[in-house]
A = this chain, B = another copy of it.
Amino acid sequence: MKLYHLPLSGHAHRAVLFLSLLGQKAELIEVDIPNGAHRTPEYLELNPFGQVPVLEDDGLVVNDSNAILVYLATKFGRKDWLPDDLKSVAKVQKWLSVAAGEIAYGPCAARLVTVFGADFRADEVIARAHRILKLIDQELEQHQFIIGDKPTIADVALYSYVVGAPEGNVDLMPYINVRHWLARIEALPGFVEFPKTAVGLRA
């Protein structure tokens, strides 16, 4: 397997983290996005969206972070990470939607503003980040991980941009359940951290 990634991308970190939690190896290929490597015809052939991560496995190309999580759990038969009972199927999917929606356009976007100068309205995306963090915090009051007392790919999908939220001026202090949950994920065997940017290291 090859994983095209960028260390500073939380979307890519989801895939790197999950591979490591599974104890699986992939060749990591860094895509030089700051210098436009995601806009070359070769890369756009792999992923017309021009984004990281992309997983290439024996000719099959998977180019969305949630899809990579589902693909890897399915390929390796890891029902612990992606349970197949009806209730869990629905719950995991719900939080994958949150990762692709409120998280991407909340804490992720807020961090894109400070780290990469992206053109989002900071007040809008920071407010959205707090709304979703409050809901996640409320959910985590009831169990150790997001759908129950064991970690699933839904936790992996949510983790990276939540831990990186302070880099986008989204304070995690009010969310005690979220902070405990981050620590629980960080204690899992195989955990690999989401590197801080210069913005995060200054804070």
Q: Which residues of A contact B (CB under 8 A)?
A: 48-49, 60, 62-68, 70-71, 74-75, 86-87, 89-91, 93-94, 96-98, 100-101, 104-105, 119-121, 124, 135, 138-139
Contacts and interface: CB of A to CB of B under 8 A. Distances in A.
Contacts of A101: 100-101, 104-105
A168 to B, nearest CB: 16
A48 B134 CA distance: 10
A62 B48 contact: no
Given A48-B138, A86-B74, A93 B105 contact: no
- By CB atoms of chain B within 10 A, which of A62, A75, A135 has the most? A62
A94 B124 CA distance: 26
Given A49-B135, A96-B97, A90 B67 contact: yes
